[in-house]
Amino acid sequence: MEIESNKNSKAQTFGSEDKASDLIIVRAIISCPTCSFKKKFKNQFHRDQMEYMVVALKVFDWMACNNCGDLLRLDLEFDI
């Protein structure tokens, strides 16, 4: 009986790993090309919620620097 319960717990562990593999971790680095402004953001999205990531990236893409008014540069790092 104990062996069967161990098998069930392993099956649950594998199921949670599948959920973790569905995550896309995104790190956005925003920097100004003319002054020293730099900011980092980190977020994670499920694969079935890609539209949320697209909306967030569109907002980042049009940000301007508070110091000099230039458009900020957006660099992305993905952990898939």
* Gap between the Cα atoms of 10 and 12, Å rounded: 5
Number of domains in the chain: 1
pTM score, whole prediction: 0.61
Q: What confidence score (pLDDT) does residue 20 get?
A: 58
**What is the full per-residue pLDDT of the chain (80 aa) written as tens digits?**
334 444 444 444 444 455 657 888 888 889 999 998 999 988 888 888 888 778 877 887 788 888 898 999 989 898 87
Residue 3 lies in a domain: no
In this structure, is residue 27 part of a structural domain? Answer: yes
Domain that holds residue 48: 23-79
Residue 17 lies in a domain: no
Classify burial at 32, counting beta carbons within 10 Å of its beta carbon; exposed 0-12, middle 13-18, buried 19 or more: buried
The SS3 call for residue 45 is strand
Q: Is residue 46 part of a domain?
A: yes
Q: Is residue 13 part of a domain?
A: no
Contact assessment for residue 76 and residue 20, using Cβ atoms and an 8 Å cutoff: no
pLDDT at 34: 92
In a domain, 53, yes or no: yes
Check residue 51 and give its pLDDT.
84
Asked if the structure places residue 16 within a domain, the reply is no
Does 72 reside within a domain?
A: yes
- Cα–Cα distances in angstroms (integers) from residue 11 to residues 3, 16, 50, 70, in the given order: 13, 9, 28, 52
